[in-house]
């Protein structure tokens, strides 16, 4: 029943299964909980928690605001190709 409890917790918290933490000392309590209300109580008590991630890289994101792909590639110097030789005159 642990998987079912974890799946219900995932749906309540809106995260994936890797972000749900279950207290290892309270496994019997988690396994015996079978209802949505019971899972909500475990979340409120802190027996089931959400794991938070470390911050990611500093590369420009194409997130909620739109950055054209070509400008992101230019910033990161991707798709640069062969560089043109400079003149020596």
Could you tell me the domains of the chain? 2-50 (1.10.1650.10)
Confidence at 2, pLDDT banded by 50, 70, 90: confident
DSSP annotation of 77 reads T
In the prediction, which pLDDT does 82 show?
Answer: 73
Whole-angstrom CA distances from 39 to 62, 70, 71 are 36, 46, 46
pLDDT tens for 55-80 read: 666 665 655 566 677 777 777 777 77
Q: Is the pTM of this model over 0.85?
A: no
In the prediction, which pLDDT does 44 show?
Answer: 94
- % residues pLDDT > 70 (the chain): 79
Cβ neighbours, 10 Å, residue 29: 16
């Amino acid at each position: 029943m642990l998987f079912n409890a974890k799946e219900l917790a995932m749906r309540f918290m809106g995260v994936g299964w890797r972000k749900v933490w279950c207290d290892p000392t309270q496994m019997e309590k988690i396994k015996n909980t079978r209802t949505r209300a019971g899972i909500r109580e475990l979340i409120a008590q802190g027996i089931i928690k959400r794991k938070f991630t470390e911050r990611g890289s500093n590369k420009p994101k194409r997130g909620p605001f739109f950055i054209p792909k070509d400008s992101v590639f230019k910033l990161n110097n991707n798709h640069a190709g062969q560089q043109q030789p400079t003149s020596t005159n």
